[in-house]
A and B are shown apart, each in its own frame.
Chain A
Amino acid sequence: MSNSKGKKSTTRRDFLKSGLFIGAAATTGIGLFSSFTTPKETKGEKVKVMTSDGNLVEVEVNKLEKPNLPKFDSASLDLNELQKRGREGIAGKKWVMVIDLSKCRNARKCMDACQHAHHLKPEQHHINVLQMQTDDNLAPYYMPKPCMHCDNTPCTKVCPVDATFKRQDGIVLIDNERCIGCRFCVAACPYSARVFNWSETIDEKKDNNDTYNIELNVPQKKGTITKCLFSADRLRENKLPYCVSACPNGTYWFGDRNEDAVTNGTTGETVRFSELVEKNAGYTLMPELGTKPSVYYLPAKDRVFDFDEEDKKRLEEERHHEH
């Protein structure tokens, strides 16, 4: 990424120069061509490493775990630094969320915390607690729905300008300094996870002078996309996401799949991720789409709270109205 950033000015010049005599279509090609660099796969020096079960494996030196990055105070960083570290992500991590549907009782503290942190309007949801009932004979339940941070992302595939992109720790971020507002990603997302700033944002005037933090997507900008970021800014400070820590009911578990551990945002309890999803029959949403989500759900079995009666009635009406 840093590579193509460095080439930015050259590319623009190429664009203008070539545009003069070849024409716009050719420019698309040339403009693009100059930055299709191969991935930076440095075939570095290798060392032999003994694994715990006694096997000797060969590992590239630069793939060995790096020490944690020094922590910066976000406020003191300039836009370029924030953009750079935001696009790279945190090395060695693969964030996962586990949502225990048996615990959710539609308290919506997650939604409040999220909207507050990301300066969103009441109808803009990075995380949305949905009332689900797929069949008349099945019980309704509450389902918080953040961005799935898919590993086979329909949204980043279609973005024409790398304004939404996946970073190495698995988070799908948005760069509203680059977004052109085509909304192709909204069309492509099967989870309806993306929202657009259709008009002036809620804190536009107030936030205007703040440096844009790509990991928080604040200030929000009119004409660009916003969506759940797994609170990338909090993760950088080793803190749990806003929604996870705001939940009063222990619904959320969050952690690093590479460590095989997730921590409950309410109780602070840490468990093995693999055991949690195995013992509770964890699943992902719409696996048939092949999106490979990073958000796992535990079924709404043995629920702690009953589904609200009024919600139940409304949901029934909604379902029957549709057909």
Chain B
Amino acid sequence: MSSEKLTKEEAKTRFEKMVSDITRPMTHHYGLNVWIFVLLMILSLFGYAYFIQVRDGLGVTGMHDYAAWGMYIANFVFFVAAALVGMLISAVLGLSGQKWITPVSRIAEMIAVAFAMIAGLVIVFDMGRPDRVLNVFIHGRVQSPIVWDLTVVTTYTIISTLLLVLPLIPDMAIIKKRLTNAPKWQMMIWNMLSLGWIGTPEQYKILHRSIRALLILIVPVALMIHTVTSWLFAMTPRAGWNSTVFGPYFVTGAFVTGVAGVIVAMYFFRQNYKLKDYLTDFHFDKMGKLFVLVAMVYMYFNVNEFFVPGYKMMEGEDHHILTLFVGSWAGLFWFAQIFGNIIPMFLPIFKFFRKPMPLMIISVLAVLGAWIKRYIIVIPGQLHPFLPVQNVPDKFHFYVPTGPEIAITLGTIGMAITIITILAKIFPVIPIWEVAEEKGIDKETINE
């Protein structure tokens, strides 16, 4: 941004201030104890609920033979969607030369890594026989979308982790020289991850080259992670799932979820980590515009997804669409559509709504809407199969999640947030060296 020539001294002062600004939250724990206590509560509640589920079987959930997939799978789809954001922010915008994205990219990568890591676990918690999870490796069939999904989620997790770690290398070198009072284990991690960085031109060349290779690789992998997840549904002949636009529909939906998620995280770090100088109104303004764009693309697929079958009203589809639009699912459906798509598409067009606070509120509602959207994609379609539901208990006509089920779902979200918390504690949430370079500070100062 400011690219005026700085004197050596000016550069040095500015850089040191920047480092201390960004690393202060890593050493000063405002309210961290309370936060950790809350997370531990959630995790222990999860532990208890999961113990009950393993002991008594999936019967403790609200699932039954006519809603064989419930909240867990909806949550899984949400996790995959949230994980996708790393790719959008760092790869698509980064590769297209959008410089403003630099301070936001690490937050995006942290979210991506956390959610991608837990996504695989969410599936395990949904399994009737989690003790047999290794069967997927021992007996895996390449024809099954689940095998593709596990493969691509794992691959994506590895690539996102690398994309988080690589830009950390120079920062690690910077930090280990300055935060010498840190605990030993933290120093060890920093030292290890700095990979002997001394900032030679050759090292820069290698680093840029590697990051670029990963940025290019993550684009198709990220598109696949969500396309394949959509295929878990689209590959079945069920009304409501049997759709050809499910791949792009899910991907564009994930963009909306992801942007909203990053905005929420940005706001949180800006407030709690006192990073107003780095996550500025300008960044929120940009994110707001991006929000409008992705919501518009999503709306395009939303219209396709419902208008085409709604026009034909074929057997099965008719029922599905009526229950969503005007039937028993209408409340959740319209909440998800209005807060998850329509509002993010229109409100941030106005400058006022691109300010941090209003944008954050819109985003929180959009994340909630996105979660509910996954829920109504997964469940209603199963409750109305082609053949009548008969000779079964009345409760098989509905799906109502139970306590343990909700506790386990909350637990998985808690796990993802725990990972983000840990990452944000031991690593700077703003890429110091990249931001410094953009502020016109020379490489020599950075690597001193």
Q: B57–A184 contact, CB under 8 A?
A: no
Q: A161–B68 contact, CB under 8 A?
A: no
- Which of A145, A186, A195, A289: most chain B CB closer than 10 A? A186
Closest-by-CB residue of B relative to A177 is B132
* Interface residue total, chain A, C-beta cutoff 8 A: 62
> Is A162's CB within 8 Å of the partner chain B?
yes
Of B137, B144, B232, B388, which contacts A157 at CB under 8 A? B144
Q: Which residues of A sit under 8 angstroms from B56, Cβ to Cβ?
A: 199-200
Closest-by-CB residue of B relative to A221 is B129
Q: Which residues of B sit under 8 angstroms from A23, Cβ to Cβ?
A: 154, 158
Of B127, B142, B232, which contacts A36 at CB under 8 A? B142
Q: A183–B69 contact, CB under 8 A?
A: yes
A285 to B237, CA, bound (A): 14
> Is A266's CB within 8 Å of the partner chain B?
no
Q: Which residues of A sit under 8 angstroms from B30, Cβ to Cβ?
A: none
Q: B396–A123 contact, CB under 8 A?
A: yes
Q: Which of A121-165 contact B (CB under 8 A)?
A: 123-125, 128-132, 145, 154, 157-163
Whether A187 contacts B139 in the complex (CB less than 8 A), given A130-B388, A182-B126, comes out as: no
Of A130, A145, A154, A191, which contacts B236 at CB under 8 A? A154
Q: Which residues of B sit under 8 angstroms from A161, Cβ to Cβ?
A: 135-136, 138-141, 144
A195 to B67, CA, bound (A): 11
Q: Which residues of B sit under 8 angstroms from A322, Cβ to Cβ?
A: 319
Q: Mark B296-321, 1 if CB is under 8 A from A, else 0.
A: 00000000000000000000000100
> Is B121's CB within 8 Å of the partner chain A?
no
A187–chain B nearest beta-carbon distance, Å: 6
A154 to B133, CA, bound (A): 22
B352–chain A nearest beta-carbon distance, Å: 44
> Is A178's CB within 8 Å of the partner chain B?
yes
Q: Mark A1-27, 1 if CB is under 8 A from B, else 0.
A: 000100010011001000000011101
A29–chain B nearest beta-carbon distance, Å: 7
Of B60, B236, B382, which contacts A158 at CB under 8 A? B236
> Is A267's CB within 8 Å of the partner chain B?
no
Closest-by-CB residue of A relative to B63 is A198
Closest-by-CB residue of B relative to A19 is B137
Q: 23 A-B pairs, CB-CB below 8 angstroms?
A: A11-B138, A12-B134, A31-B140, A32-B137, A32-B140, A32-B147, A125-B391, A128-B391, A154-B236, A160-B136, A162-B141, A178-B132, A178-B135, A181-B58, A184-B144, A190-B237, A191-B387, A195-B65, A196-B58, A199-B58, A199-B59, A223-B128, A322-B319
Q: B128–A179 contact, CB under 8 A?
A: yes
Q: Which of B321-335 contact A (CB under 8 A)?
A: 322
Q: Which residues of B sit under 8 angstroms from A178, Cβ to Cβ?
A: 132, 135, 139
Closest-by-CB residue of A relative to B389 is A192
> Is B235's CB within 8 Å of the partner chain A?
yes
Q: Which of A176-233 contact B (CB under 8 A)?
A: 178-184, 186-188, 190-192, 194-200, 222-224
Q: B129–A159 contact, CB under 8 A?
A: no
Query: Which residues of A are at the interface with B, using a C-beta cutoff of 8 A?
Result: 4, 8, 11-12, 15, 23-25, 27-29, 31-32, 36, 111, 123-125, 128-132, 145, 154, 157-163, 178-184, 186-188, 190-192, 194-200, 222-224, 285-286, 289, 291, 318, 322-323
Q: Which residues of A sit under 8 angstroms from B155, Cβ to Cβ?
A: 25
Q: Mark B150-179, 1 if CB is under 8 A from A, else 0.
A: 110011011000000000000000000000
A24–chain B nearest beta-carbon distance, Å: 5
A110–chain B nearest beta-carbon distance, Å: 12
Q: Which residues of B sit under 8 angstroms from A199, Cβ to Cβ?
A: 56-60
Q: Which residues of A sit under 8 angstroms from B393, Cβ to Cβ?
A: 123
Whether A223 contacts B154 in the complex (CB less than 8 A), given A182-B146, A190-B238, comes out as: no
A52 to B129, CA, bound (A): 53
Whether A198 contacts B64 in the complex (CB less than 8 A), given A160-B144, A182-B128, A191-B386, comes out as: yes
> Is B200's CB within 8 Å of the partner chain A?
no
Whether A192 contacts B385 in the complex (CB less than 8 A), given A31-B138, A157-B143, comes out as: yes
Whether A25 contacts B386 in the complex (CB less than 8 A), given A187-B69, A222-B57, comes out as: no
A195 to B66, CA, bound (A): 9
Q: B139–A162 contact, CB under 8 A?
A: yes
Q: Which residues of A sit under 8 angstroms from B396, Cβ to Cβ?
A: 123
Whether A180 contacts B128 in the complex (CB less than 8 A), given A161-B141, A186-B65, comes out as: yes
Q: List 18 additional contacts besides A179-B129, A286-B386; criterion CB under 8 Å.
A: A15-B138, A28-B140, A111-B391, A123-B65, A125-B391, A132-B388, A160-B147, A161-B139, A178-B139, A179-B128, A180-B127, A181-B129, A183-B68, A187-B68, A187-B69, A190-B386, A198-B58, A289-B237
Closest-by-CB residue of B relative to A286 is B386
